């Protein structure tokens, strides 16, 4: 083609040719050599499969007290994952502190103050404000930062602060400052029966009989069926039926234990794991043997570091044979208590609930049929097999079957885990197991089943606390977390506290939950509640949310409107 100015002929070149000649660079973020070396050293010879992503994020967080963008890029490169996959997973979980390029490093020590319902009743806001004042003044005694935290599973010791992994019961600012001063931020493991002590008391005899064939899997299933033992994580599905259904699915099969006990007011699983870990492990291994699971995954919430240390130590003492046991560590996401979200998290992904068909045809862990049980459910297996189904069925009350572990907190003299007959009423629970109401407090209302189980007035204190008894009142028993209120507590404030919790913990996958919890919280913050609008919003959330979080988030709100109508008017008018 002739150049019009100089009369020369030049060859036509396509506009993209220059880009093709340019030096190619890898897609995504450039991996810094220093960060690459550090990640390689951290991971060493550990496998690079996707399922370990969250475990490796914990490894970085524990080592560097934060996760830099450079480390994320290096981890993505090492695991052959897109940077976006690693970033979205890391930022989904509250306990990973992702620091972007150019941001100042974070203080290495984190002080978490629980601000959910029971801790809020006992002064969490004042504790948080005073600690933040110390942080602002630089008088915490070292580089530390104070953050709010959802329920940490110590509601009977409210208010609670966590300094690193050291939990302070009935915490005060002075206690926090003292712990920081002596650099005591590690998890504290209390005394418990170890492997030798458990075996000396007859432990693992049933498991050994099962493996030797002197006790059959069919006999185990028969006891579970006859006893009527149900899943004690909240859904209440018959345990024997679940085990049999999974066993009938084509192999290979897996087992997963849901230890992500994040429902505000619930702390029973922590109690059993800390007090008798091998009784839990034996029940788990019996279940794995019955369904012929090749691997067992124990998913434990990150707020239970003492239990994690204990289980890691004791699992290593088990004799060879049986399924492989994998410990998986949560990272501060309440949604992972929902079983399909837990499976996603075990696989190294964000904990987004799956759309699933009815049990048992759901897709399990890694696409395999998976037996999923709560910690307390398997904890009772040894007791049932030794004592027999008749013993269990005789333990109920008010026509109910079995025992329940009630996590009781709030305005009672003796809060804690109360092993009581299924079907006991809250009035009986308070009087017979909790020493009555705390001095100066009169019973006014209660949560029968944790944050999502609704709120009932004291006038309905004679309802049996069990599966199927509370639904007609707009409530449910769930994990049997009972929080007791008195005249000192504003039920509207309680419902608002719980809605803020659900808003913060929504995974964001579906609009009815993501936007519904936010809109509900904003409407509830007004002096006067628009009961009609809030009721309509709650109905949409119940009908259209993907999982139980969004479906149950409006239960406390709906109960306030139904059972406490006098509280809907402005406080000035009520007075």
Q: Mean of the pLDDT values across residues 278-284?
A: 98
How does pLDDT run across 266-276, given as a tens digit for each residue? Answer: 999 999 999 99
How does pLDDT run across 321-352, given as a tens digit for each residue? Answer: 899 999 999 999 999 999 999 999 999 999 99
Is the pLDDT at 9 greater than 60, yes or no? no
Look at residue 484 and give its three-state secondary structure: strand
The torsion defined by the Cα of 222, 224, 227 and 228, in degrees rounded to 10, comes to: -120
Residue 386 has, within 13 A of its CA and on its CB side, a CA count of 15
Is the pLDDT at 156 greater than 70, yes or no? yes
What per-residue confidence (pLDDT) applies to 26? 46
Is the pLDDT at 24 greater than 90, yes or no? no
Confidence of residue 527 (pLDDT cuts 50, 70, 90): confident
Mapped to the 3 state alphabet, what secondary structure does 233-297 carry? CCCCCEHHHHHHHHHCCCCCEEEEEEECCCCCCCCHHHHHHHHCHHHHHHHHHHHHHHHCEEEEE
Name the pairing type of β-strands 370-374 and 324-329. Answer: unpaired
The better pLDDT of the pair 231, 169 is held by: 169
Please state the pTM of the whole predicted model: 0.92
Is the pLDDT at 5 greater than 50, yes or no? no
Q: Which residues contact 555 (CB under 8 A, 6 or more apart)?
A: 452, 453, 454, 455, 474, 475
Q: Mean of the pLDDT values across residues 233-255?
A: 91
Q: Please, what is the average pLDDT of the chain?
A: 92
Beta bridge partners of 278: none
How does pLDDT run across 556-574, given as a tens digit for each residue? Answer: 999 999 999 988 776 554 4
How does pLDDT run across 98-107, given as a tens digit for each residue? Answer: 999 889 999 9
Q: Mean of the pLDDT values across residues 520-545?
A: 94
Residue ranges of E strands in 323-380: 324-329, 370-374
Residue 538 has, within 13 A of its CA and on its CB side, a CA count of 25
What per-residue confidence (pLDDT) applies to 415? 98
How does pLDDT run across 387-411, given as a tens digit for each residue? Answer: 999 999 899 888 888 999 999 999 9
DSSP annotation string for 372-419:
EEEHHHHHTHHHHHHH-HHHHHTT-STT--SEEEEEEEESBSS-EEEE
Is the pLDDT at 8 greater than 70, yes or no? no
Is the pLDDT at 151 greater than 60, yes or no? yes
What per-residue confidence (pLDDT) applies to 363? 62
The answer to whether 119 touches 112, Cβ cutoff 8 Å, is no
The answer to whether 279 touches 310, Cβ cutoff 8 Å, is no
| Measured distance CA(63)–CA(353) in Å, rounded | 30
Is the pLDDT at 145 greater than 90, yes or no? yes
Among the listed residues 366, 375, 370, 338, the one whose alpha carbon sits nearest the alpha carbon of residue 354: 338
Q: Which residue has the tokens 């572990």?
A: 405
The answer to whether 388 touches 397, Cβ cutoff 8 Å, is no
What per-residue confidence (pLDDT) applies to 126? 98
Q: Which long-range contacts (CB under 8 A, 24 or more apart) does 527-531 make?
A: 527/570, 527/571, 528/568, 528/569, 528/570, 529/492, 529/561, 529/568, 531/561, 531/565, 531/568
Among the listed residues 111, 110, 122, the one whose alpha carbon sits nearest the alpha carbon of residue 497: 122
Is the pLDDT at 362 greater than 70, yes or no? no
Q: Mean of the pLDDT values across residues 278-305?
A: 98
Is the pLDDT at 484 greater than 80, yes or no? yes
Q: Which residue has the tokens 């989904």?
A: 92
Residue 443: count of CB within 10 angstroms of its CB: 21
Among the listed residues 277, 290, 188, the one whose alpha carbon sits nearest the alpha carbon of residue 244: 290
Q: Mean of the pLDDT values across residues 498-526?
A: 94
- Strands across the sheet containing 293-300: 324-329, 293-300, 253-259, 370-374
């Amino acid at each position: 083609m002739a150049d019009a100015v100089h009369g020369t002929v030049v060859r036509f070149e396509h506009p993209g040719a220059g880009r093709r000649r340019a030096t190619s660079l890898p897609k995504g973020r450039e991996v810094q050599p220093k960060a690459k070396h550090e990640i390689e050293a951290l991971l060493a010879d550990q496998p690079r499969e996707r399922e370990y992503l969250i475990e490796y994020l914990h490894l970085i967080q524990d080592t560097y007290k934060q996760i830099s963008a450079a480390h994320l890029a290096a981890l993505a490169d090492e695991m052959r994952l897109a940077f976006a996959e690693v970033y979205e997973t890391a930022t989904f979980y509250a306990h990973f502190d992702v620091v972007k390029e150019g941001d100042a490093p974070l203080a290495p020590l984190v002080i978490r103050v629980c601000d959910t319902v029971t801790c809020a009743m006992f002064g969490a806001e004042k504790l948080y404000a005073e600690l933040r004042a110390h942080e602002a003044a630089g008088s915490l005694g070292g580089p530390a930062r104070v953050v709010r935290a959802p329920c940490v599973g110590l509601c009977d010791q409210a208010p609670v602060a966590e300094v690193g992994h050291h939990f302070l019961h009935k915490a005060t600012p002075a206690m926090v400052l003292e712990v920081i001063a002596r650099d005591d931020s590690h998890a504290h493991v209390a005394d418990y029966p170890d492997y030798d002590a458990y075996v000396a008391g007859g432990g693992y005899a049933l498991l050994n009989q099962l493996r030797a064939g002197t006790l059959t899997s069919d006999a185990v299933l028969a006891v579970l069926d006859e006893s009527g033992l149900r899943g004690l994580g909240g859904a209440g599905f018959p345990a024997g039926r679940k085990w049999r259904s999974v066993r009938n699915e084509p192999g290979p099969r897996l087992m997963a234990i849901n230890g992500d006990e994040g429902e505000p007011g619930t702390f029973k699983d922590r109690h059993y794991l800390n007090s008798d870990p091998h009784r839990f492990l034996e029940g788990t291994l019996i279940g794995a043997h019955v369904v012929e699971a090749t691997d067992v995954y124990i998913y434990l919430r990150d707020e239970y570091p003492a239990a994690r240390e204990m289980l890691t130590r004791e699992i290593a003492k088990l004799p060879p044979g049986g399924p492989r046991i994998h410990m998986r560590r949560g990272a501060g996401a309440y949604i992972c208590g929902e079983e399909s979200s837990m499976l996603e998290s075990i696989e190294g992904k964000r904990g987004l609930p799956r759309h699933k068909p009815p049990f048992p045809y759901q897709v399990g862990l890694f696409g395999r049929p998976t037996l999923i049980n709560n910690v307390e459910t398997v904890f009772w297996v040894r007791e049932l097999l030794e004592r027999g189904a008749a013993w269990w069925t005789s333990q109920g009350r008010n026509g109910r079957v079995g025992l329940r572990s009630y996590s009781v907190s709030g305005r009672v003299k003796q809060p804690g885990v109360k092993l009581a007959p299924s079907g006991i009423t809250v009035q009986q629970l308070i009087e017979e197991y909790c020493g009555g109401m705390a001095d100066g407090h009169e019973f006014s209302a209660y949560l029968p089943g944790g944050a999502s189980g609704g709120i009932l007035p004291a006038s309905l204190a004679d309802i049996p606390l069990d599966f199927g008894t509370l639904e007609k009142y707009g409530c449910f028993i769930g994990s049997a977390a009972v929080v007791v209120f008195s005249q000192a507590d504003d039920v509207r404030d309680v419902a608002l506290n719980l809605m803020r919790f659900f808003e913060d913990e929504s995974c964001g996958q579906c609009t009815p939950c993501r936007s519904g919890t936010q809109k509900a919280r904003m409407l509830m913050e007004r002096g006067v509640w628009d009961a009609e609008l809030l009721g309509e919003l709650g109905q949409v959330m119940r009908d259209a949310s993907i999982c139980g979080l969004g479906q149950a988030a409006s239960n406390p709100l709906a109960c306030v409107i139904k059972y406490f109508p006098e509280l809907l008017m402005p406080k000035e008018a009520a007075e």
